[in-house]
């Protein structure tokens, strides 16, 4: 059986704050197991998003992409995702909106409601650990992430994002939040 929710975390644990996505995903996995809810959410970690990730959206009700972003407003943004207008010049590293576009072009059935949790990163150098600022941003993002997973329904996700003043609804032709996710790590 396909889990109704999928969380795709993007980032390179060897590149400083680019590890924010994988770090939050690992914490989420521990939390889900402790809550007895591991089967309700599929967790996927990768260095970057590719066209094949469109298949991970099949049969889902909700999808959440987690990434670090340089220039993202601190501590994070939580954005409703819309399909990108195009796929760009490469299929080897896609933004979340391009993954959704591939899904719409190739997969039968409706796409899940998709969101991006983009956590502000400060340093992305190879061999670095998380910066102190990113540690704080991750802690703030964790509060929202745990609440999202506790109430994994579309209306609840909108309400939580709006209540926190963190949800950004881009126009239909914009696929990523303010502050570009680091994406192609």
Total length of the chain: 185
> Domains in the chain, start-ordered, CATH in brackets?
5-168 (3.40.50.1450)
How far apart, in whole angstroms, are the C-alpha atoms of residue 133 and residue 118?
Answer: 14
pLDDT > 90: percent of the chain: 69
Contact 57, 94 (CB under 8 A): no
- pLDDT band, very low/low/confident/very high, at 163 (cuts 50, 70, 90): low
H or E element: which one contains 106? helix 96-106
Helices (H), 12-83: 20-35
Q: Provide the pLDDT for residue 157.
A: 87
- pLDDT band, very low/low/confident/very high, at 165 (cuts 50, 70, 90): low
Q: What is the DSSP secondary-structure string of 112-177?
A: PEEEEEEEEES---TT----HHHHHHHHHHHHHHHHHHHT-SHHHHHHHHHHTT-EE---TT--S-
How far apart, in whole angstroms, are the C-alpha atoms of residue 95 and residue 65?
Answer: 10
Q: Provide the pLDDT for residue 48.
A: 94
Per-residue pLDDT of 14-26, as tens digits, reads: 999 999 999 999 9
Contact 35, 148 (CB under 8 A): no
- pLDDT band, very low/low/confident/very high, at 85 (cuts 50, 70, 90): confident
Q: Provide the pLDDT for residue 93.
A: 77
- pLDDT band, very low/low/confident/very high, at 162 (cuts 50, 70, 90): confident
Contact 20, 116 (CB under 8 A): no
At residue 64, does pLDDT exceed 50? yes
- Report the b/e string of 157-180 with b at 16+ CB within 10 A: bbebbeeeebbbebeeebbbbebe
At residue 113, does pLDDT exceed 90? yes
- Average pLDDT of every residue of the chain: 85
Cα-to-chain-centroid distance, residue 146: 14
Dihedral of CA 69/72/77/81: which sign? negative
């Amino acid at each position: 059986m396909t889990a109704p929710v999928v969380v795709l975390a993007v980032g390179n644990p060897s590149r400083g704050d680019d590890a924010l996505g994988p770090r939050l995903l690992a914490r989420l996995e521990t939390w889900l197991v402790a809550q007895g809810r591991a089967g309700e959410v599929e967790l996927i970690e990768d260095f970057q998003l590719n066209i094949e990730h469109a298949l991970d959206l099949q049969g889902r009700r909700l999808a959440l992409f987690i990434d670090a972003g340089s220039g993202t407003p601190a501590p994070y943004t939580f954005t409703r995702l819309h399909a990108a207008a195009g796929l760009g010049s490469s299929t080897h590293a896609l933004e979340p909106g391009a993954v959704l576009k591939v899904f719409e072009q190739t997969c039968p059935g409706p796409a899940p409601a998709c969101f991006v949790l983009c956590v502000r990163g400060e340093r992305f150098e190879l061999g670095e650990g998380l910066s102190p600022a990113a540690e704080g941003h991750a802690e703030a993002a964790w509060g929202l992430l745990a609440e999202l997973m506790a109430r994994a329904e579309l209306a609840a996700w909108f309400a939580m994002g709006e209540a926190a003043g963190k949800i950004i609804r881009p126009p239909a032709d914009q696929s990523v939040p303010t502050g570009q996710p680091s994406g192609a790590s």
